[in-house]
Amino acid sequence: MDDRAARGEGEGEARPARSVDAVYLRLKQQILDNRYAPGAQALESEIAAALGASRTPVREAFVRLQQEGLLEIVPRHGVRIAALSPDDMKEIYEVLMSLEPTAVELLAARRPSAADLACLVEACDAMEAALAGPAPDLAAWAAADERFHINLARLCGNRRLAAMIMTVWDQAHRARMFTLSLRPLPLRSTAEHRAVLDAILGGDGETARDLYVAHRRRGGAELTAIIERHGIQRL
């Protein structure tokens, strides 16, 4: 099962969501896809009706999504979708820069083969293909970029570390998508992904870690500069 299917997309999206997990995954993906705008409020009954679910699984999904920082439960008024400020994004990138390089180092230490890392190889290939030609496909690039980071965390061998990374990654997802068209063409970022992958395949954990730290530091500075330049106060 791919990551989007795991979040409740694909064929299952047209069917009513009834179980707690189904409601949680569907609502989470809708938040990540900006179907609920940052700062928007929604009633429990409205979301239950939209998902074709009863209120009990919706209420339990709210609790899980609040723990992940994607919404805030407002007593007697449903929920408020979490919004991110520039300071929030700065904190998120600081956390990612602390956690993800460790995952990279752990993965390299396992000395994986190219077959073991086929999903990362595919993601790098897809990122490069999305930017080739006269009409770059930024949506395809962003999807491949997400696959790279999700699978890197998943393959590191430490489930708790992977879960922590994914929670913070999800919090930043909407901001990344919002600013995608405002950034320079991500050729440098794509090359950095490939360099990290090559270092992992070479079993060089230290180099892979250093490359990843530099990648995250540059990416965070670029995103912060975009937010400041455009005067964006909420994402």
Predicted confidence (pLDDT) per residue in 140-170, tens digit: 999 999 999 999 999 999 999 999 999 888 8
Reply yes or no on whether the pLDDT at 5 is more than 80: no
Question: Within this chain, do residues 29 and 142 fall inside the same structural domain, yes or no?
Answer: no
The whole model's pTM is what? 0.74
DSSP state of 10: G
Reply yes or no on whether the pLDDT at 11 is more than 80: no
Reply yes or no on whether the pLDDT at 123 is more than 70: yes
Question: Within this chain, do residues 7 and 117 fall inside the same structural domain, yes or no?
Answer: no
Average pLDDT for 57-83: 90
Question: Within this chain, do residues 26 and 128 fall inside the same structural domain, yes or no?
Answer: no
Question: Within this chain, do residues 10 and 72 fall inside the same structural domain, yes or no?
Answer: yes
The torsion of the CA quartet 76, 78, 79, 80, rounded to 10 degrees, works out to -80
Residue type for position 39:
G
Question: Within this chain, do residues 31 and 140 fall inside the same structural domain, yes or no?
Answer: no
The torsion of the CA quartet 129, 135, 139, 141, rounded to 10 degrees, works out to 30
Predicted confidence (pLDDT) per residue in 168-213, tens digit: 888 777 777 778 888 889 999 999 999 999 999 999 999 999 999 9
Question: Within this chain, do residues 60 and 17 fall inside the same structural domain, yes or no?
Answer: yes
pLDDT for 16 equals: 52
Would 234 be classed as within a structural domain? no
| Number of domains comprising the chain | 2
Choose from 40-44, 90-94, 157-161, 216-220 the range with maximum mean pLDDT: 157-161
Question: Within this chain, do residues 151 and 124 fall inside the same structural domain, yes or no?
Answer: yes
Question: Within this chain, do residues 158 and 62 fall inside the same structural domain, yes or no?
Answer: no
pLDDT for 13 equals: 43
| DSSP labels, 131-166 | H-SSS--HHHHHHHHHHHHHHHHHHTS-HHHHHHHH
Reply yes or no on whether the pLDDT at 113 is more than 90: yes
- Which of 81, 96, 125 finishes a domain? 81
Q: Which CATH number belongs to the domain containing residue 31 in this structure?
A: 1.10.10.10
Average pLDDT for 96-124: 96
Work out the percent of the chain whose per-residue pLDDT is above 70.
90
User: 3-state DSSP call for residue 40?
Assistant: coil
Would 235 be classed as within a structural domain? no
